[in-house]
Structure 1
């Protein structure tokens, strides 16, 4: 079953949730669990609305989302990523097919590099708050949700623009 209007409304809802997550992460350096849960729980509704087959399409979406989640979970375990970011990347990946999830991963990583660099430059421009003689400066928290949101929004925009190109 496909319901084009409902499917498009779900995609708009995802876009709004991605924007909310980016703003929230910029302001607080956290992404609320209820927002990540909503993103994840609406994905199966999207699958149903878009007429996506359980096998193999949904299974591959879940496998790809799990794979990207595990990569980011590894970064979390190494102290390089926040827990909300890990949950968000896995939840957003559920919305995309496995091939698109690869693109999502690449875009997220590239955007994450830009966000990390901007955060580092901003942190350095404010001056070190470490006491004199301290061994290391405070490490800035990177709002990686901004990069995840950017990648998701980019892919949603591509879907929208390609819809009118053909």
Structure 2
């Protein structure tokens, strides 16, 4: 793993932490952050040594399929008048599809679901114990960031040798 490759993974981890904290604070994930994450993917592909064909083409195709599914889920939620995922969450998941292989992405979804489940239990306990006047909204960007960071963790701890 090159220093550039490792640095890009660190930058992604920092961006994910920013996404989580801004989602907690304002219940939004900024477009500029999602764009920055997506824009970093081609540099990551280059640093990873991916070839334009078929590697980059497959990665872009995978991201397009993920985005199509996410837009479909959002549309279903809109038609049922429920919020399944917010717009920032959808854009963050789409941007992350540019960084992860399909198997890594599935792992991220698994960890994301676990993090989201723990958050939901804590959210309900908060409602039962504190009885706030407003119920609030679960900041699911935290679960997305947590799932992605758990997938990135093994890559981040394999520190490259700096000469």
TM-score tier, shorter chain, comes to 0.7 to 0.9
Structure 2 spans left out of the alignment, 5+ residues: 78-82
1:85 equivalent in alignment to 2:89 = yes
**Alpha-carbon separation, structure 1, partners of 2:42 and 2:7:** 14
Point out which structure has higher relative CO (alpha carbons under 8 A, 6+ apart).
2
TM-score by length of 1: 0.81
The Cα shift of 1:111 comes to 1.9
Unaligned runs of 5+ in 1: 130-137
Q: How many pairs are equivalent?
A: 154
Alignment of 1:66-145 (within 5 A): 66-77=64-75, 78=77, 79-127=83-131, 129=133, 140-145=136-141
RMSD: 2.2
Q: Deviations over 1:30-83 (max 9, x none)?
A: 111100110000001110111112222222222332333333333433021110
- Structure 1 contact 112–147 (Cα < 8 Å) conserved: yes
Match of 1:149 among 121, 124, 145: 145
Contact 1:104 1:155 in 2 (8 A): yes
Give the aligned partner of residue 132 of structure 1.
none
For 1:134, the equivalent position in structure 2 comes to none
| TM-superposition CA deviations, 1:123-166 (whole Å, max 9, x none) | 3333153xxxxxxxx653111111111111111112234678xx
Contact 2:9 2:156 in 1 (8 A): no
